[in-house]
Structure 1
Amino acid sequence: MGRTVSLYWRIFLLNAAVLVLSVALLFGPVTVSTPVLFGEAIVLVCGLVVMLVLNAVLLRVGLAPLGRLNRAMATADLLNPGERPRVSGQGEIARLTGTFNAMLDRLEAERAASSGRVLTALEAERQRIAQELHDEIGQTLTAVLLQLGHAARHAPPDVREDLHQAQETTRASLEEIRRIARRLRPGVLEELGLHSALRSLGSEFTAHRLSVAVHIVTGVPALDPATELVVYRVAQEALTNAARHSGASRVELRLGPLPGGGSCLLVRDNGRGRGTAPEGAGISGMRERALLIGAELLIEPGAGGGTDVRLNIAPPPP
């Protein structure tokens, strides 16, 4: 394979060829009088225009890969892996494009590995906090609840009502602690599986003035534990965003198979949509979790308003 000509020499030789052609024409059939005649001026101007147009076209064709590479660099986002710029030719631009593509592949792999370690540590910390809430604070509040009940039974009538009120407040606090612990560590996911965990999640948000309809379509492929945890956390974050920020009253949570294999999680609300609001930490966390399992996360306006959060999970390799 012959040695490729660098971009510098290609531009230099192109302009040199134009100048040599111009000089050759002046020494050949084209002559210039003094003063310049009108017909000669027209020939010179036309020749100059032709040479400039040829020079511009050739430079545009030669530098077009640089434009594609520049656009790819400007839009590159490690949380939104996209198409790579096409490598064409064998010159410096082709090598530069190939190096850029390899750099993006390496950065995405390193980010995925780093995010995996961070999210694993985060889940372990969630589990530790949930355990402490359940074992320490939960047991303490249970003991307080029993003591208040014992005191209420032996208290004078004028104090008994206050003690009963304190009991109810303590009982509500204990239920809230248990709810927080369940959200931190989805025990139902480990014990009963993803389908039951999603239904339980929908029931939990329905109890907080948000109507959640959960549909589990038959034929969903089996998922490994890591993928199930990602699906559960994405559904949890999407429901949290719908409850807190979208002003939605109804949410549809659907898990079903994809036509070409794999699975799809869809969380669709009837809220006011994201509009032009920037992505927050919650959405960034969902994207990082999706990257861990090689899934595609799409956040789009719903057909009838609101927001669609879609997690497309590729089928496992054979």
Structure 2
Amino acid sequence: MTHAVQTPARDNVFLRISAHLAERTDIASALEAVADEIAEVIPFTHADLCLKDRPGWLSSYEVGIQTRWSRTSTRVEASPIRDLITGKCDFMLCHDAMQDPRQTYRGACSEPILNHQMRSRVHVLMKVMGQPIGTLNISHSTVGLYDLDTVRRAQHVADVLSPYFHALHIAEQAKRATQVRQEAQAREEGLRRDALLLTQTLEQERQRIGMDLHDQTLADLTRLLREITADATPPSQAQMEHRIKEVIGDLRRIIDTAVPTLLDLFGFVHAIRAHLERAIASQPIAVTVTDATEGAADRLDPTVRTALYRIAQEAINNAARHSGADHIEVRIEPLPPSGLVLEIRDDGRGLPADLNRMSGIAHMRTRARLISADLDLLGDGGSTVRVTLGERS
């Protein structure tokens, strides 16, 4: 592309830009390094590069004011520069972007423009080998500061920046792809190790169950059979009933501790989801489980975690059996600095009139007190059981 002849001072700026970029290996620091030189060519209060990322998405890199644009990717259809990046125009020049329908249309990601009063704006394409790779966007809080000469200068800056930033962007994408592959391999290896550990744990439990049944239950039943078939006077009915109850009690304890629970094997969220599915059985109830804490429940003391799980079980059972709900939702939210909030919500008929007569609720309150948690029952548009677990030492 041919541009107006540059002055020696302007040429010196572009030489400095090239020198700065040659020393940088990432986009953010490269843009920061040339910000002063860009400002010599075009004064700005905000400047950013908007680079094509995965299909339909743009990544932004900013200098000057830092906004949400550089904190998250933006869809092309929601970007204020969509007309430029989709080829509807060769450049965009805004007298006052805060009043420009091309920039602030419904659904546009234009909050930074309004929040930081980006009024004068100029946008030009960045190209490599004739193909657009993104845009250079320069803004100022003064209305009507930029004109067509600004567009020409911005295009010259973009032409100098494009090959450098394209190379850096390709390198960053390759690095991210490598990281994703490594993380996938690590997860696969973790799953393999977990499966092996699970197999070993189940085998150990099988052996322990066999020993307990042999040493306790089988021995008790054998002794009882000897007493019944012996020549001496057999035990009375009351004695028999007592001993059989003891055997049943021992057998129940063996069963209760036999195999690691879902909570131990697969974690809190999986156990909650499995219990939800059992509780609703064939009922037409939709269920949702959301954990916004990245597994914080599984980092709790085992006793606290178990109590929390039992509260959730009781609340889920009540919702499934008595609420007439169409939807049950379980949410786990963080409570800074190190606590969490567990909520079991349903859209059913609400709380019963006399809560004190429900033993299940009494059990939940007791369990909550034992782990120093607060239990709240809310009945607005259904019912909500909320457990607030404060900072853990």
For normalisation by structure 1, the TM-score amounts to 0.40
- Larger relative helix fraction: 1
For normalisation by structure 2, the TM-score amounts to 0.32
Q: Which has the higher contact order (CA 8 A, sep 6+)?
A: 1
